[in-house]
Amino acid sequence: MNPIPELRNYWMPFTANRYFKTHPLLLEGARGMYYQDQHGRQILDGIAGLWCCNAGHCHPQITAAIQAQAGRLDYATAFQLGHPGAFELATRLADLAPAGLDHVFFTNSGSEAVDTALKIARAFHQRNGEPQRTRLVGRQRGYHGVGFGGISVGGIEANRRLFGPLLPDVEHLSSTHLPERNAFSRGQPEHGVELADELADMIASGEPDTIAAVIVEPVAGSAGVLVPPAGYLQRLRELCDRHGILLIFDEVITGLGRLGSATAADYFGVRPDLMTLAKALTNGTVPMGAVLVDGRIHEGFMQGPEQAIELFHGYTYSGHPLAAAAALASLDVYADEGLFARARELAPIFEQALHQLAGAPHVIDVRNLGLMGAIELEPRADAPTQRAQAVFREAFERGILIRTTADTIALTPPLIISEAQIGQIVETLQGILQRVD
Ligand SMILES: Cc1ncc(COP(=O)(O)O)c(C=O)c1O
């Protein structure tokens, strides 16, 4: 066992710091489907790190690409200069994205990608002669990162509560989660398409033509895998088209294979105007996000004097050479190993396995799509979240990494997971749920 480092100074994100520091869990290595913890134990990764590592950990091809890049060109500003990797990556992403989403703005995280997409949407309307279009529409239980833009359009109350006035002109659609009608749905739930019509009410309730954009996760991830009802995203698209509103898909989780297709837009056959990516973009190795932008929107900015900056926005590390190298290598690995197809083939097996937990103690819902799954537990009457926390700790003890949000267990394994490993995760959870109080 390696010595535990001093823990006091690191203020950990989204963590119960005081509890953690008396019960630390430290990861020291990783390869393929497994982490290695501070005791040298192998931990099967049921959540791809944090919905990131779709090709598994420390993939030699990705590691080598990052190492080589670090020795060749460590950093290059993206302001008025470029390096080949960022351009090559933009081309590769445009090829992979739904037709028309052919311009790419690089960021360093999903949160920044979201804020960038919201800004591009508002700025586009300004430049397009509709400056009154400033309203933004998000959705209850949506997660769009932690920037002020993201928490404004996001709908997770705890993430908004302490931070004072957020962006004005933001409204939220209802969550599509309808447990009383759709519990234990396999794949897309049947009920709830009409929830998209709330957008029509919002359009009607304000001044005409004042909504800039609607942003949704095609499948809400962080709130506990909330799968959209059949027809819902199509209806949002129709309403946006009819009323000149931009549709943003936040594909930070669903992008790059999670549903067995390059993007959720492909999976659902619904094309957004802007799309965010992050996480699996570099297989989780180097921070990077991206916004894919429809050609018509991009064209709206490419006006006026040629030497004028078109968008006053960007990051010191936009298109960072190491991140670009990691992303290019990740896209190669996804293609060479056929990982999106693999996820598609595994999805029914994953679904079947997860729904075996439907009758286990405390389970009040099981949901799934592609390689995204959730098992929702009845909260303890006096202590919400604690039952799921106990399952998380016990699973770790038994060598399985899961994720919990409130009382929902999320499973989102690397796309390289085997059938036997899916079985092992479900069997371990079955055993834990029999025992946990
Ligand atoms: C849908 C979605 N958008 C945005 C984000 C924020 O990404 P980041 O944590 O890289 O800022 C996340 C993170 O989980 C996410 O799931």
Report which ligand 1 atom has the smallest distance to the Cα of 111: 11
Q: Where in the chain is the domain with CATH 3.90.1150.10?
A: 17-55+338-435
- C-alpha neighbours within 13 Å on the C-beta side of residue 360: 24
What are the tens digits of pLDDT across the range 74-128? Answer: 999 999 999 999 999 999 999 999 999 999 999 999 999 999 999 999 999 999 9
Pocket test for ligand 1, best of 116, 156, 279 (most atoms within 8 A of CB): 279
Mean pLDDT of the chain, nearest integer: 97
Burial code (b: 16+ CB inside 10 Å, e: under 16) for 11-44 equals: eeeeeeeeeeeeeeeeeeebebbbbebbeeeebb
Could you tell me if 88 and 69 are in contact, meaning their C-beta atoms sit under 8 angstroms apart? no
pLDDT confidence of residue 4: 84
287 pocket-lining for ligand 1 (C-beta < 6 Å): no
Give the pTM: 0.98
For residue 27, the cross-strand partners are 37
pLDDT confidence of residue 90: 98
Report which ligand 1 atom has the smallest distance to the Cα of 114: 4
> Which strands form 34-37's sheet, in the order they lie side by side?
27-31, 34-37, 42-45, 400-401
**List of residues 6+ apart from 203 with CB closer than 8 A:** 211, 239, 243, 245
pLDDT confidence of residue 351: 98
**What CATH architecture applies to the domain 17-55+338-435?**
Alpha-Beta Complex (3.90)
Query: What's the gap in Å between 147 CA and the centre of ligand 1?
Result: 10
Could you tell me if 96 and 81 are in contact, meaning their C-beta atoms sit under 8 angstroms apart? no
144 pocket-lining for ligand 1 (C-beta < 6 Å): yes
Q: Where in the chain is the domain with CATH 3.40.640.10?
A: 64-336
CATH classification number, 64-336, choose in 3.40.640.10, 3.30.230.10, 3.40.50.2000, 3.40.50.300: 3.40.640.10
What are the tens digits of pLDDT across the range 192-211? Answer: 999 999 999 999 998 989 99
pLDDT over threshold 80, residue 2:
no
For residue 42, the cross-strand partners are 36
Query: What's the gap in Å between 246 CA and the centre of ligand 1?
Result: 20
What are the tens digits of pLDDT across the range 220-263? Answer: 999 999 999 999 999 999 999 999 999 999 999 999 999 999 99
250 pocket-lining for ligand 1 (C-beta < 6 Å): yes
What are the tens digits of pLDDT across the range 23-57? Answer: 999 999 999 999 999 999 999 999 999 999 999 99
What are the tens digits of pLDDT across the range 252-299? Answer: 999 999 999 999 999 999 999 999 999 999 999 999 999 999 999 999
Return d(Cα 28, Cα 36) in angstroms, integer. 6
Return d(Cα 57, Cα 33) in angstroms, integer. 7
The first and second tokens of residue 296, run together, are: 């018509």
Which amino acid makes up residue 319? Answer: G
| DSSP secondary structure of 161-190 | TTS-S--SSEEEEPPS--HHHHTT-SSS-S
Report which ligand 1 atom has the smallest distance to the Cα of 142: 1
**List of residues 6+ apart from 427 with CB closer than 8 A:** none
Confidence of residue 73 (pLDDT cuts 50, 70, 90): very high
For residue 405, the cross-strand partners are 408
pLDDT confidence of residue 1: 66
pLDDT confidence of residue 437: 93
**List of residues 6+ apart from 77 with CB closer than 8 A:** 316
What percent of the chain is modeled with pLDDT above 70?
Answer: 100
The runs of H, that is alpha helices, within 261-418 are 264-268, 295-301, 321-336, 339-355, 386-397
